[in-house]
Amino acid sequence: MVKVEALEWLKEWERLINDVDFEGARSLFADSVVSFGTFAEVLYGLDQLEAMQWRKIWPTIRDFKFEEPKILVFKPGIATLAVLWHSRGKTKDGGWYRRKGRATLVLKKAKGSLRCIHSHLSMEPGIPALAE
């Protein structure tokens, strides 16, 4: 059951990223989430994650897509996912470039649904987070 919920969670987050829906995405994360991100070594809490990661990146990308998870670990009430992703990023001159990266997500059941308690998204080596 947690596996199905985790895959549904991933699809929903993908949709929210593409819709640039910060408020909707917040509902998928624990208030106390700890994240590693592009622009900060470590982010403590949902407010920091949204302000210092999501709001800097989501408006500059499109066609964000998670691939099938490479690693799925499930225990009652918790799931860990390792998954590749790709999108297109906007360049300063208005063009687009291909972005590829990976993510590790830890989801924990709380209040009847899965909430992310840890996220780590990073670009593949050699691909800039934001194009020049």
Classify the phi-psi angles of 61: left when phi > 0, otherwise alpha if psi is within -120 to 50, otherwise beta.
beta
Residue boundaries of the structural domains of the chain: 2-123
Residues 66-96: tens digit of each pLDDT: 999 988 888 899 999 999 999 999 988 989 9
Q: In angstroms, how far is CA 18 from the centroid of its own chain?
A: 11
Tens-place pLDDT, residues 9-55: 999 999 999 999 999 999 999 999 999 988 888 999 999 999 999 99
Residue 68: per-residue pLDDT: 94
Residue 130 has pLDDT above 70, yes or no: no
Say what the pLDDT of residue 128 is: 67
Class (C level, CATH) for 2-123: alpha beta
Give the torsion sign (CA, 101, 118, 72, 3). Answer: negative
